[in-house]
Structure 1
Amino acid sequence: MSTTSSNPAGPLSVGNVVSAGVRIYRSHLQQYFTQALIAHLWILVPIYGWAKYSAIAGLISRLAFGELTNQPETLTEARKHTHPRMWSFLGAGILLMLIFLGLYLGAVIVFTILMFAGVLISQTIPRGGFIVAPLLLLVALIFFIVLLIRVFSRLMIVEVPLAIEPNMNASGAISRSWELTKGSVGRIQWIAVVAFLITLLVNVPVQVISFLFQLATESAATTGGNSGVALLLFLINLALSFGVAALIMPFWQVIKAVIYYDLRARREGLGLGLRRR
């Protein structure tokens, strides 16, 4: 194992973060996949199940963080920390949803105002208005996309401090994520892009298979006397979707744990090193 000093020389590179996430995920695939599958089954239960899902996502990040700091926990030990905060995890998710909903509504208002402004400009300047109005909308769209990506990067690791740090609640976890990611937005964006491309290796083939199953299900449903076959195909497709989601979710939770570890090590001198495998 290598250790960092109390003041790490610099951040892990994008490649190091992703490769560390892949190593941890691969070495604990069965455990993480099982927990993620249970979490996705809980989604079917409104409210309580959603809280359980959120808590299990945090649990996976906590387990990964323990591997990073060379202080691994058993599933039971980690659950003792995350399960009591189940409703806080759900609360953090709701707050995040409200934040992004607010951004969306703000964008709708701005675009509506710009559309009216474009109409007025077109009426005032008949020739130039047809150029100015679309440009205003284009600039506003680019600004909104950049803002959305930046906010996502600042709030990407919200559930990790909630799963790891003591005396943490939903609003505190959001503030903590915002604080830790300050100045690291660009790097986090690249990490997210690379991680997303890795998940495509699994997601794209499965989406193609799922689409074929859906076509077969619709074909069987429209053919008389094949309702049983249609139901079977639907259930297989549903199981496939749950399985893929359960395969991808832990990978993202591990990546978030690595980002959190790296940010804390650089900002607060965590003094703990990545385990070499």
Structure 2
Amino acid sequence: MQVSDHDWVQPVPPPLPPGAATPPLPPAAPPQYGTPQYGPPSPAHAPIGAGPQGWTPPPRPGLLPLRPMGFGTLLWAPFRTLRRNPAPVFGTGLVVQLASAIASAALFVPLFVWIFGRIENADAADLDAILSGAVGWVVLLSIVPIAVSLVAGAFLQGVMVVEVASGTLGERLTFGALWRRAAARIWPLIGWTLLVGVVVGAVFALVVGGVVAVAILFPDPATVVVVVLLALAILLGLAVLGAWLGTKLALVPSAIVLERAGITTAMRRSWSLTNGSFWRTFGLILLVGLILSAAAQVVVQPVSFLGTILAMIIDPTAGDTYLGISIATTVATLVLSVLIGAITSVVQAALIAVIYIDLRMRTEGLDLELERHVEARESGLPVADPYLPPQAGASAATWS
């Protein structure tokens, strides 16, 4: 009968006689399958830090992931900008809003006080002349707050572009650093904002002026109605055209600041980057605008409504108490409007910079350049500005 390995039992030696010495044990037999042999460890399993180059830590996470982003990431990234570095970001938006509000109040409050005083003390014969002069002064002085808003808005665009670009690299800049970098490109930004304002204002004035001229030349009511309807159709078509051009040229501020381009070059860059991504860019800008508008209405309108209801309940006769509550409600509404306006302007400006970086990642591989920049910076190597176009990167100054 054949005995298998599992049936084999080691024989038991017979017992030794009393007093006999224990015989030595036989040498251990080698294992059945031989002695295991272990070679040197594979380089893939070497301990971290081994090797001539050592171990480099991964890049620190920044504002944006260093890869092309999905729609949801793009949608909420501008709001993360405000949360990640709130003091300089929200502070800049607040300064911009206050600059426009203070400029308007400083000019128009004394003007209206003077106008109303003149109207109260004027004769009926002088009333028309006073009103005409008041309208002229209002139109003339409106240039000052418009100019302040123009400069402030351009500066805010530059600040937010710098904040998003530096935040993507894991940097957290202070007020001074943000403002210095944005101020270096303020004149092209003002020129671009002024160009947009002039074009929009000229088109609107041309349409409205045409309607008024036709109404004066042809006072027939039927003609006026036809002209008004035609003007509305033209304005609707111009709105569609403006939405298309605004989307195609939305990235101009980012190109001006980050690529240090002139206005014409920045327009060409924005046009080329948005090729094939028009609807995505338009949808993001529209959706964020609707979200911010709805949020502003939800915050501001209940305060105004509750203040009015409270004044009517406490003082139905519209006396001094009613006036005091109305003034307090108006002040609270204005304060909330300024705060909400600061948040809105910051988020909308940040969105443009986020879209710009994402489109460059998709079309030019900017994400790889940013990764190399961060790794070199963490290793202590000199780094150049990673946002300059490839042809300008060789002679770029150090990113600072």
TM-score by length of 1: 0.71
Tell me the SS of whatever aligns to 1:223.
coil
- Classify 1:262/1:243 alpha carbon distance in 2 versus 1 (closer, same or farther; 3 Å): same
- Is 41-50 or 75-84 further displaced after alignment? 41-50
Equivalent residue number for residue 247 of structure 2: 153
Give the counterpart letter for 1:233 in structure 2.
T
Matched, 1:257 2:353: yes
CA distance in 2, matches of 1:190, 1:169: 27
CA distance in 2, matches of 1:190, 1:263: 14
- Classify 1:272/1:198 alpha carbon distance in 2 versus 1 (closer, same or farther; 3 Å): farther
How far did 1:209 drift? 2.5
Contact 1:111–1:140 (8 Å) recurs in 2: no
Equivalent residue number for residue 80 of structure 2: 23
Deviations 1:170-224 (A, max 9, x none): 454444433332332211111123212432452121242354267469978x934
How far did 1:239 drift? 0.8
How far did 1:143 drift? 4.3
Percent identity of equivalent pairs: 22
- Classify 1:233/1:171 alpha carbon distance in 2 versus 1 (closer, same or farther; 3 Å): farther
Unmatched 5+ stretches in structure 1: 5-10, 113-134
CA distance in 2, matches of 1:232, 1:19: 35
Give the counterpart letter for 2:241 in structure 1.
L
Give the counterpart letter for 1:20 in structure 2.
A
- Classify 1:89/1:49 alpha carbon distance in 2 versus 1 (closer, same or farther; 3 Å): same
CA distance in 2, matches of 1:147, 1:182: 16
Match of 1:165 among 259, 262, 269: 259
How far did 1:230 drift? 3.7
Equivalent residue number for residue 118 of structure 1: none
How far did 1:68 drift? 2.0
CA distance in 2, matches of 1:50, 1:97: 9
- Classify 1:232/1:169 alpha carbon distance in 2 versus 1 (closer, same or farther; 3 Å): farther
Matches within 5 A, 1:136-147: 143-147=237-241
How far did 1:259 drift? 0.4
How far did 1:12 drift? 3.3
How far did 1:66 drift? 1.3
Unmatched 5+ stretches in structure 2: 1-60, 104-144, 213-228, 375-400
Deviations 1:30-64 (A, max 9, x none): 43222211111111333356413421332022111
Equivalent residue number for residue 51 of structure 1: 151
| Residues paired across the two proteins, number | 253
CA distance in 2, matches of 1:177, 1:214: 46
Match of 2:195 among 95, 101, 104: 95
TM-score by length of 2: 0.52
Matched, 1:247 2:343: yes
Contact 2:304–2:330 (8 Å) recurs in 1: no
CA distance in 1, matches of 2:71, 2:199: 27
Equivalent residue number for residue 178 of structure 2: 78
* Greater C-alpha radius of gyration: 2
Matched, 1:231 2:327: yes
Matched, 1:40 2:97: yes
Deviations 1:143-193 (A, max 9, x none): 444322111212223322233232x34454444433332332211111123
Instruction: Give RMSD over aligned pairs.
Output: 4.0
Larger fraction in helix: 1
- Classify 1:194/1:273 alpha carbon distance in 2 versus 1 (closer, same or farther; 3 Å): farther
- Classify 1:87/1:232 alpha carbon distance in 2 versus 1 (closer, same or farther; 3 Å): farther
Contact 2:154–2:190 (8 Å) recurs in 1: yes
Give the counterpart letter for 2:334 in structure 1.
L
Match of 1:187 among 272, 280, 297: 280
- Classify 1:31/1:73 alpha carbon distance in 2 versus 1 (closer, same or farther; 3 Å): closer
Equivalent residue number for residue 302 of structure 2: 209
- Classify 1:99/1:267 alpha carbon distance in 2 versus 1 (closer, same or farther; 3 Å): farther
Greater relative contact order structure (CA < 8 Å, 6+ sep): 1
Contact 1:107–1:144 (8 Å) recurs in 2: no
How far did 1:95 drift? 0.6
Deviations 1:74-105 (A, max 9, x none): 43223222124334322221111123335546
Contact 1:39–1:57 (8 Å) recurs in 2: no
Tell me the SS of whatever aligns to 2:320.
coil
Contact 1:217–1:230 (8 Å) recurs in 2: no
